[in-house]
Structure 1
Amino acid sequence: MDQVITRKGSHGHSTNLVGLPTGLLGSPAFNDLPRPLHISGVREMNRGLFQMLGRSDGRHEAADAFSKYMTAMFGIDPEQRTTVEPAGGIPRPYRASFIRLLLGWGYDSNSAEGAVLKGWVESRFGLVPTFHREPIRDTDSPAWDAYVDQKMASKFHNNSIWAQLDILYEYCQWAITSGTAPLGEHITLYRGVNSFEEHQIVERLDRRSVVMRFNNLGSFSSDREVADCFGETILTVRVPTVKVLFFNALLPLYPLKGEAEYLVIGGDYRVTADKI
């Protein structure tokens, strides 16, 4: 990792919707000793969902309750996830959904869908992206402008998409803390890389370990062998589960299953790097 330039600076905005300073939220100290995180007002505004979840018996029943609630609230049942014209030739309206965003992310995290997801993290957690198609050095740059154009695309903001992601995050955290999908306080995850263009080294700890600033949202795998397929260097990270937005076992039907993928909110993490 000698080619990487050490970089420091602000994590992002001074305000967020989780009630902790953004600098703390993005720090290794928070990752070591995490606190519960909740997006302001989401559980209160969706009390019916969490009452149903509280009565559910096991992961599959909880996932079914979540899916039915999202269908009722946002009209994202299977027939409405596509713009293909049904029999009779009457086109269905396009409805943005968290499922479409996860699918787009799965194909390319630097897609327009990826920009919307990174924009949601920026809005709710205050952490700005460090990379979208190219490094984002500051907010007065063509890279930032291109990211903003994509994250605010009207195509993805016609169905309260950030509210959908708020509920998805809170459902994920409910599943973790209720024992429905027990992960504990931390989980060890892996990421395979060939280039460090997306990552900023904040501090070198020893020959193999650094503090690395990850993008405000990133993909990791719980399977070391899967991570081996994506790069010659494997990053090993101990992630607090309060920073997990989505993971492979959360829902029975989801786009990221094949790679045991976890979507993790970023910031500065202690990382161990190993060559394959």
Structure 2
Amino acid sequence: MPGRSSVGHSTNLVGLPTDLLASCAYNDYPVPLRISGVREMNRSLFEMLSQAPDLADAGIAFASYMMAMFGLDPEQQEPVHDGRPATRRYRSSFLRLIKGWGYDSNSPEGAVMKGWVESRFGIFPTFHKQVIARISDEGWATYVEQKMSSRFHNNSIYSQLDLVYEFCQWALATMVAPGEDHVTLYRGVNDFDEHQIVARSDKRHAVVRMNNLASFTSDRGVADCFGDIILTAHVPTTKIAFFNTLLAGHPLKGEGEYLVIGGDYRVTASYL
């Protein structure tokens, strides 16, 4: 569209133009997304998953596969029964990134996850500690520095996140929301500093450009705790990268949290 800043790279790893993927048109009429080569290179994982009777067993199979593939030690998982954190060796894992994101989406871990979205889906981040309007911004430089930190890239971390996404998509399609194209989710905000308003039809309805990875919740009551403005969006299941019940041991379970691939979304704003 003339006059709009670029939403991302001209290429990505999911086989759709990035401008289309980040648009309301895609959100209205989503088609399946696959990160190139991930399922083909990990057939044994999806064969194991196909034999799982429920999501809990599928999660155990996925965790075992990740431990075998990437040397992830059991103690890196969030403790489920023992409240004391276990000693962890320094090895980059998707669990560490999710934990860091849960504390602060503008953390270095958050930058790595936004970098993964940029790499795989082609969509630029719009906010990391501050608004990112162009690649010459200070915010962009901070984001790039943090996303490239060597301490997070010593264990094929993007490949780990690829598998998390594909497992998430498998779980949604087969066990959690079979036959469903969208999920209604909520996001609480105090202002629109992090959310560029692309178009507004009235006070309550707008098209908002979300960060390339954003947290939503399935519980509207939880969204109330995060801001005076509640944004309601119908999110395509294909844009959900992680959700709170996907795995048994992780730090996002208490808030019904969903991690959503960004772009332009039609939202309804409710004001408390």
TM-score, structure 1 as length reference: 0.92
Structure 1 residue 181 corresponds to structure 2 residue 144: no
Equivalent residue for 2:232, pick from 219, 223, 236? 236
- Once the two structures are superposed, what CA deviation does each residue of 1:129-174 show, in whole Å capped at 9, x if it has no partner? 0000000010112111110000000000000000000000000000
Checking the alignment, whether the CA contact within 8 Å between 2:67 and 2:74 is kept in structure 1 is: no
Runs of at least 4 residues off by over 4 Å:
none
Separation (CA, whole Å) in 1 of partners of 2:125 and 2:250: 25
5+ residue gaps, structure 2, are 79-86
Equivalent residue for 1:54, pick from 46, 50, 53? 50
Separation (CA, whole Å) in 2 of partners of 1:79 and 1:114: 22
Separation (CA, whole Å) in 1 of partners of 2:240 and 2:203: 28
Equivalent residue for 1:114, pick from 106, 110, 120? 110
Checking the alignment, whether the CA contact within 8 Å between 1:81 and 1:95 is kept in structure 2 is: no
Separation (CA, whole Å) in 1 of partners of 2:15 and 2:201: 30
Structure 1 residue 102 corresponds to structure 2 residue 98: yes
Structure 1 residue 163 corresponds to structure 2 residue 166: no
Checking the alignment, whether the CA contact within 8 Å between 2:35 and 2:120 is kept in structure 1 is: yes
Paired position in structure 1 for 2:205: 209
Separation (CA, whole Å) in 2 of partners of 1:239 and 1:77: 34
Equivalent residue for 1:138, pick from 134, 137, 143? 134
Structure 1 residue 268 corresponds to structure 2 residue 269: no
Three-state SS of the structure 1 residue aligned to 2:227 is coil
Paired position in structure 2 for 1:149: 145
- Once the two structures are superposed, what CA deviation does each residue of 1:95-127 show, in whole Å capped at 9, x if it has no partner? 100000000000000000000000000000000
Separation (CA, whole Å) in 2 of partners of 1:245 and 1:251: 13
Cα RMSD, aligned residues only: 1.5
Separation (CA, whole Å) in 1 of partners of 2:72 and 2:259: 21
Q: Name the amino acid aligned to 2:99.
A: L
Cα deviation for residue 8 of structure 1 reads: 3.3
Separation (CA, whole Å) in 2 of partners of 1:9 and 1:187: 28
Checking the alignment, whether the CA contact within 8 Å between 2:30 and 2:236 is kept in structure 1 is: yes
TM-score, structure 2 as length reference: 0.93
Structure 1 residue 246 corresponds to structure 2 residue 242: yes
Structure 1 residue 22 corresponds to structure 2 residue 18: yes
Three-state SS of the structure 1 residue aligned to 2:231 is strand
Checking the alignment, whether the CA contact within 8 Å between 2:76 and 2:95 is kept in structure 1 is: no
* Paired positions, count: 261
Separation (CA, whole Å) in 2 of partners of 1:274 and 1:217: 22
Quick one: percent identity of the two aligned structures? Answer: 63
Structure 1 residue 73 corresponds to structure 2 residue 69: yes
Separation (CA, whole Å) in 2 of partners of 1:261 and 1:67: 20
Separation (CA, whole Å) in 2 of partners of 1:153 and 1:103: 17
